[in-house]
Structure 1
């Protein structure tokens, strides 16, 4: 288990905390591996009945750690990020998100695979893939428009619009909004309620609601191929260089 991922199980609820506040909870490949392992262990456990994902301090996650991501080997068997996306998108048991601050990149797209998404008033939601010379991932190019509508999805994915928690709730991206100070207690109570529900009925209901599994997997694979291609592109190299040099990227 990565030191930047913490797990706690209480009353049949497992809470995974992305715990790298010094880097705004940016996720490395090692962390993705730990998150995938935790989800798989949860799915296979008869004792754990609900799974909560949240972030440490005042960030949910800033998304991928770009330096770590650009140096990682994305070939061969499923890399850690792909294992995590596969685990969260296919998990048969309920997954809950407690978005305690900015949710950027995968911080937003992973929510599309969570069954219940609760957010603090201060939370924001951004998917800056095009800005980073990348493409959407986690089947967000399909699922986001299904959630918020094509026009809003394009505003988010193409124009880089950031949603407030209130806007995300109004568009149907998240379930409820709570005051920052209340989020933890409210989600803990809701997760405890979910964990006390009939487990087989819960799994069957989730399978009925999420009946696009094959389409999601196919879209995710198509996105991943293009995403990896962009990681090797001159556009992405220019974005990384510009960030290091603290300047705007220049695309010829």
Structure 2
């Protein structure tokens, strides 16, 4: 059985962390697979949305530290770094479906997601300082933007667990479902709505939301104009109505 499942259907690529006996702790091989799956989704024009989820009642327990010690991620092409680069460059809309533990990278990946949903039993934690490390995935930059500098410092410095209700309240999640089944139904509906939308418009809107170069209102107005006009050339006018 593969530790990473990838399935494409109707414009959706679902990537499932599938190591339930280890609460989906991520190995170097899984990072390599994740990097490839994300890069392929960016290159495939038929993929509008990528859904990241976990099996067996866990999102992920974070890095498999035993595997990481045996296969240290050294070099610019190390699997975790390739994964983060592919994550940052991802063209399709990225949706997280979080059920159960979301530890370490299970939390730091969420600011990279365009939308994030969780079950009420989801638990989040950033244990990096306790492990003698620093948070990865540019989370020291991205998390404060989502939850505020003071809250991000508290979460990262203390490394204490927090629940889905708190994650929702601080803006890390879009919504919380009461249980795993309700979560799947909610995410399925949200994803179906997204995959039914024009691919180019979805990708361009995501790109504008993520753009860090046009920092002033006037710069953003100019960027909006360029992207809007480029898309407009491909838009068919609606049928006239009497």
Rounded Cα–Cα distance in structure 2 between residues aligned with 1:81 and 1:165: 26
Runs of 4+ in 1 over 3 A off after TM superposition: none
Query: Is the 2:118–2:164 Cα contact (8 Å) retained in structure 1?
Result: yes
Aligned to 1:196: 196
Root mean square deviation, CA, Å:
1.3
1:62-81 matches, cutoff 5 A: 62-81=61-80
Matched, 1:119 2:85: no
Aligned to 1:60: 59
Q: 1:205: which partner in 2?
A: 205
Q: Give the SS at the match of 1:118.
A: strand
In structure 2, distance between residues paired with 1:55 and 1:177: 16
Q: How does 1:66-105 map to 2 (within 5 A)?
A: 66-105=65-104
SS in 1 for 2:51: strand
Q: Which structure 2 residue ranges, 5 or more long, are not aligned?
A: 214-242
TM-score scaled to structure 1, two decimals? 0.81
TM-score (structure 2 length as normaliser): 0.84
Contact kept? 2:27, 2:67, Cα under 8 Å: yes
Aligned mates of 1:208, 1:134 — CA distance in 2: 33
**Contact 1:12–1:192 under 8 Å retained in 2:** no
Q: Following the alignment from structure 2 to structure 1, what is the Cα–Cα distance between the partners of residues 156 and 212?
A: 21
Displacement of 1:154 in angstroms is 1.1
Counterpart of 1:41?
40
Q: Which has the larger Rg? A: 2
What runs of 5+ residues in structure 1 fail to find an aligned partner? 214-252
Tell which deviates more after alignment, 202-211 or 26-35.
Answer: 202-211
Q: Distance in 1 between matches of 2:92 and 2:156?
A: 29
Q: CA deviation at 1:77?
A: 3.8
Give the CA deviation at 1:49.
Answer: 1.3
Secondary structure in 1 matching 2:109: helix
Q: Offset of 1:66 from its aligned partner?
A: 0.3
How far off is 1:73 after superposition? 3.6
- Aligned residue-pair number: 212
